[in-house]
């Protein structure tokens, strides 16, 4: 095969799958994989001038004045000095170019800072400090605690027992809680031996670069054995290593091919609708100017014929009437150019700058607790704020504080958490006057934890068996890591904030989680330290919607503890729990009505002989290469049945102040709000009810959670037919798309009643395909509220682009995490909230502030006033110019 043919074959093979050989740069370089250098800047020294001028001359007025300048250097038609046009034009272009250059220099500086970070790379058996930009696919690198992950890595080994590593993924999905990853045993055995790692020649065959953050498929071939790889074995660029001294990883994807960069939206040049309208108006004025100049040129020709010969006595010239009229036409184009003066754009920029200062100075949008004022990070989009029709919002950290608190619970049919008036027997609203529970009996209690129902702590002190079992389960059934910096000063690192809240609640009520190892969990029960043997962890996932642990207590008793969604746990309870289940369900309905996140707790005592046999089968399934997940799921189903109900928990993910009121006011302004979140469906729905996006009074809330394109299409159609039973459009929608007759604008349709739509990320991936996107958009636009959950950063941007494309409406995206950057860039206006998830969203935004509630003031006050000011100015400016020019004419 020729070199060209070999290159084409490899390129084609690369599109299907990716092959990486460890410690073999020569082999990997033959596939021409991307380097680890990234580039987010728009210009370089050679392209800056042509590209920037090209962007600026997209403004028709700028192009017009360049044309005018060319006319003015022609002596035969020049009636004014070229200097009068070139100075203001160069000034306007220079100021804009300087602003763009400063922005791009900052981007270059940021790129250089990232590309020049150092990491230890294993080369020829030695660890060498290399710049990130020099790291290549197939290299083995060493990461240390609190270090950023350099590229997408296959985890080889770590300093922790069982080859676990803990990572923070705030840059990717906005979640600040820690995630756990685990290396394969075959690679983990190499530990930190440089000799073994340098000799490692495993070959990874995996999927090509893509933007799916939640999925990875591949295989490792090593020592003639093939091992299955999934998302649990991969560390993604943008994550941070936490609570792990060191780990080694093999680079799978580098630079622009990493999942983080695949999810980054492109920076676009944002222009307001007034800018676009100005281009149309300027074209209209050009036509009017041309018409006036034609009339004057014709008049000049007529005058030349009748009186021009007499004028020759004063100024001898050629007597060509047509040519004289032609030159006069261009002369008048120059003389009457005041109808479109260049000062118009300069004046607009000055007004926009002033409006930006009004936003920066507004004390009503200043957050005193964090000392964060509002900031207009761009001066060109202020009036667009008054034209918003669609708002796309993140949830965690944007609508909520991302702070979970244990609020209420139900134990063996008794509800705790409400403060009851002893005289009336009614629940009291919790105010500052009500005294919280005193946890001084517990030296390890968290002082920040507040609970107001004293009867629950009395139950703990009285050693009620059900209450103790409830908190024992919370202290054991989790994946939290404990860190004790000083004696008694415990810090919990949880994979989810609600899991941390439950463990903290157990801690305060006397069941303190102290530490864990791969084999044991140590807790302190009412001051007595007890160590439980951890025999199995049955992980939580979106299908199971529950988590279980199997432990042996110090007395040798085997127990399974389980927590999960109510519908899932109820199906697996022993029939004797029916009465308790009925009462607990009533409590759960009350909790859900208050917008609280609920979990049901259950347990089961296990027989030693049965568990030994089950454990053996569990081990066999766990090492199976084929149908591993199906085999494990079958075993989990087998053991998680006939459980005994203990109770339920209710956790509050506190909304930010004023969120519900802000959403209500924006809804009155006919602004639609779509929530795009990476959180699970139940969480998103609960928050939807908490902030009044979803309401019990709605006619229906449609849930789209199908796993195939056909099922998604059917669920969308069913929803549309329910909202508009007499509609006939659905019958013709798909044939229209097949024939290529796609409408340019999707019109709003009349719907009787109010509806909500909740769609998960898996279904959304199908709904955003080209043959279904219109059907999804039509259905979504008929709903009062749309919530998309479990979405990737790129899907957020795709939803925004879909609405921009077919609704022709002005869109705004608001978020606080790096996972929101792509949608912030995609929307007409991006708003960043400076929250707990870093400053990435703020740095990519057009406007920023500290709280979601400030959005109301930004849109309904500053947006409206900026729009009105600009419109009044433009009306007066055109009136003044037309008056001046017509008098001249």
Q: Which residues are designated catalytic? A: 394
Can you say whether the dihedral through the CA atoms of 44, 45, 50, 55 is positive or negative?
positive
Q: In what helix (H) or strand (E) does residue 673 lie, and over which residues does it extend?
A: strand 672-676
Number of helices and strands in the chain (H, E) = 31, 35
CB 51 within 8 A of CB 234: no
Separation CA 525–CA 475 (nearest Å) = 9
CB 190 within 8 A of CB 201: no
CB 646 within 8 A of CB 142: no
If you ran DSSP here, which 8-state letter would residue 861 be given? I
Separation CA 256–CA 404 (nearest Å) = 36
- Per the DSSP assignment, residues forming a β-bridge with 126 are 123
Q: What share of the chain is helix, strand, coil (3-state, %, to 5)?
A: 45, 25, 35
Phi-psi region of 222 (alpha: psi -120 to 50; beta: other; left: phi over 0): beta
Count other Cβ atoms within 10 Å, centred on residue 528. Answer: 8
Query: What are the backbone angles phi and psi of residue 537, rounded to the nearest 5°?
Result: -120, 120
Strands 597-605 and 558-564 turn out to be antiparallel
670 burial class (0-12, 13-18, 19+ CB within 10 angstroms)?
Answer: exposed
Separation CA 503–CA 337 (nearest Å) = 74
Q: In what helix (H) or strand (E) does residue 200 lie, and over which residues does it extend?
A: none
Q: Strand runs (DSSP E) across 118-236, as ranges?
A: 118-123, 126-131, 140-144, 152-158, 164-168, 178-182, 203-206, 218-222, 225-229, 234-235
SS3 of 570-583: HCCECHHHHHHHHH
Separation CA 155–CA 181 (nearest Å) = 8
Q: Which residues contact 475 (CB under 8 A, 6 or more apart)?
A: 503, 506, 507, 511, 512, 513, 523, 525
Helix axis angle, 60-72 to 321-335, nearest 10°: 130
Cα 238 versus chain centre, distance = 14
Q: In what helix (H) or strand (E) does residue 175 lie, and over which residues does it extend?
A: none
Separation CA 399–CA 391 (nearest Å) = 13
Cα 427 to Cα 252, 460, 467: the distances in Å are 58, 22, 22
Pair of tokens at residue 46: 């050679």
Pair of tokens at residue 193: 């031996």
Give the strands of the sheet with 152-158, arranged side by side.
126-131, 118-123, 140-144, 246-253, 152-158, 234-235
CB 208 within 8 A of CB 152: no
Can you say whether the dihedral through the CA atoms of 817, 819, 820, 822 is positive or negative?
positive
- Per the DSSP assignment, residues forming a β-bridge with 247 are 143, 158
Separation CA 143–CA 248 (nearest Å) = 6
Q: Name the residue among 82, 40, 252 with its Cα closest to residue 152.
A: 252
Q: Name the residue among 407, 360, 849, 395 with its Cα closest to residue 663.
A: 395
Residue that is written with structure tokens 């009503």 in the block: 364
If you ran DSSP here, which 8-state letter would residue 593 be given? H
């Amino acid at each position: 095969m020729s070199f060209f043919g070999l290159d084409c074959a490899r390129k084609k093979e690369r599109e299907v799958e990716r092959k990486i050989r460890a410690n073999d740069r020569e082999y990997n370089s033959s596939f021409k994989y991307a380097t680890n250098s990234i580039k987010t800047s728009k210009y370089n020294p050679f392209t800056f001038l042509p590209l920037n001028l090209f962007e600026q001359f997209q403004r028709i007025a700028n192009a017009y004045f360049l044309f005018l300048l060319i006319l003015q250097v022609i002596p035969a038609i020049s009636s004014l000095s070229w200097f009068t046009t070139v100075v203001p034009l160069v000034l306007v272009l220079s100021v804009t170019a300087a602003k763009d250059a400063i922005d791009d220099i900052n981007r270059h500086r940021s790129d250089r800072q990232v590309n020049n970070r150092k990491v230890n790379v294993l080369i020829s058996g030695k660890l060498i400090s290399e710049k990130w930009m020099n790291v290549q696919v197939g290299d083995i690198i060493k990461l240390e605690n609190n270090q950023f992950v350099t590229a997408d890595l296959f985890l080889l080994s770590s300093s922790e027992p069982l080859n676990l590593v803990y990572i923070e993924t705030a840059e990717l999905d906005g979640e600040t809680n820690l995630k756990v990853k685990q290396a394969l045993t075959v690679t983990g055995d190499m530990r930190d031996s440089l000799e073994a790692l340098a000799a490692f020649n495993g070959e990874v065959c995996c999927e090509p670069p893509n933007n799916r953050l939640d999925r990875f498929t591949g295989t490792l071939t090593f020592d003639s054995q093939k091992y299955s790889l999934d998302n649990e074995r991969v560390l993604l660029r943008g994550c941070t290593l936490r609570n792990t001294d060191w780990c080694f990883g093999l680079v799978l994807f580098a630079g622009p091919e990493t999942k983080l960069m695949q999810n980054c939206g492109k920076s676009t040049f944002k222009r307001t609708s007034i800018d676009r309208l100005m281009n149309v108006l300027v074209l209209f004025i050009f036509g009017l100017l041309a018409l006036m100049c034609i009339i004057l040129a014709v008049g000049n020709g007529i005058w030349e014929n009748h009186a021009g010969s007499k004028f020759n006595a004063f100024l001898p010239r050629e007597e060509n009437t047509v040519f004289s009229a032609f030159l006069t036409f261009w002369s008048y184009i120059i003389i009457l150019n005041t109808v479109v003066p260049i000062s118009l754009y300069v004046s607009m920029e000055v007004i926009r700058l002033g409006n930006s200062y009004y936003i920066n100075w507004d004390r009503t949008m200043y957050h005193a607790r964090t000392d964060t004022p509002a900031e207009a990070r761009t001066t060109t989009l202020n009036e667009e704020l008054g034209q918003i029709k669609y708002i796309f919002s993140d949830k965690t950290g944007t609508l909520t504080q991302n702070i979970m608190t244990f609020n209420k619970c139900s134990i063996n049919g008794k509800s705790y958490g409400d403060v009851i008036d002893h005289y009336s027997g009614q629940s009291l609203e919790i105010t500052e006057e009500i005294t919280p529970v005193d946890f001084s009996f517990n030296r390890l209690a968290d002082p920040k934890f507040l609970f107001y129902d004293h009867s629950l702590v009395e139950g703990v002190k009285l050693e009620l068996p059900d209450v103790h079992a409830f908190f024992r389960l919370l202290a054991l059934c989790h994946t939290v890591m404990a860190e004790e910096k000083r004696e008694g000063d415990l810090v919990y690192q949880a994979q989810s904030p609600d899991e941390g809240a439950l463990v903290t609640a157990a801690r305060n009520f006397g069941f303190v989680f102290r530490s864990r190892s791969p084999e044991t969990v140590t807790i302190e029960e009412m001051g007595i330290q007890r160590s439980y043997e951890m025999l199995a962890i049955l992980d939580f996932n979106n299908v199971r919607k529950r988590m279980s642990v199997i432990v042996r207590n110090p007395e040798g008793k085997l127990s399974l503890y389980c927590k999960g969604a109510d519908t899932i746990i109820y199906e697996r309870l022993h029939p004797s729990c029916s009465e308790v289940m009925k009462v607990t369900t009533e409590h759960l309905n009350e909790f859900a009505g208050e917008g609280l996140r609920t979990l049901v707790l259950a347990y089961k005592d296990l027989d030693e002989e049965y568990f030994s046999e089950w454990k053996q089968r569990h081990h066999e399934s766990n090492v199976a290469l084929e149908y591993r997940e199906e085999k494990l799921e079958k075993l989990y189903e087998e053991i998680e049945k006939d459980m005994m109900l203990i109770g339920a928990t209710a956790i509050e993910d506190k909304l930010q102040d004023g969120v519900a009121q802000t959403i209500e006011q924006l809804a009155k302004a006919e602004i639609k709000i779509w929530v795009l979140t990476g959180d699970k469906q139940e969480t998103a729905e609960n928050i939807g009810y908490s902030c009044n996006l979803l309401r019990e009074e709605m006619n229906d809330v449609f849930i789209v959670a199908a796993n195939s394109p056909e099922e998604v299409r059917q669920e969308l159609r069913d929803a549309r037919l329910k909202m508009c039973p007499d509609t006939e459009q659905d019958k013709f929608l798909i044939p229209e798309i097949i024939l290529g007759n796609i409408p340019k604008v999707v019109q709003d349709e009349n719907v009787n009643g109010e509806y909500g739509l909740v769609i998960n990320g898996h279904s959304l991936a199908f709904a955003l395909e080209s043959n279904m996107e219109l059907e999804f958009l039509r259905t979504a636009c008929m709903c009062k509220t749309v919530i998309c959950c479990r979405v990737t950063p790129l899907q957020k941007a795709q939803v925004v682009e879909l609405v921009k494309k077919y609704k022709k409406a002005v869109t705004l995206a608001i978020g606080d995490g790096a996972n929101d950057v792509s949608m912030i860039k995609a929307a007409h206006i991006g708003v960043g909230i400076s929250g707990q998830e870093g400053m990435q969203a703020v740095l990519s935004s057009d406007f920023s502030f500290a709280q979601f509630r400030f959005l109301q003031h930004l849109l309904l006050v500053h947006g409206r006033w900026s729009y009105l000011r600009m419109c009044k100015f433009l009306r007066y400016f055109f009136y003044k110019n037309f008056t001046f020019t017509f008098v001249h004419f």
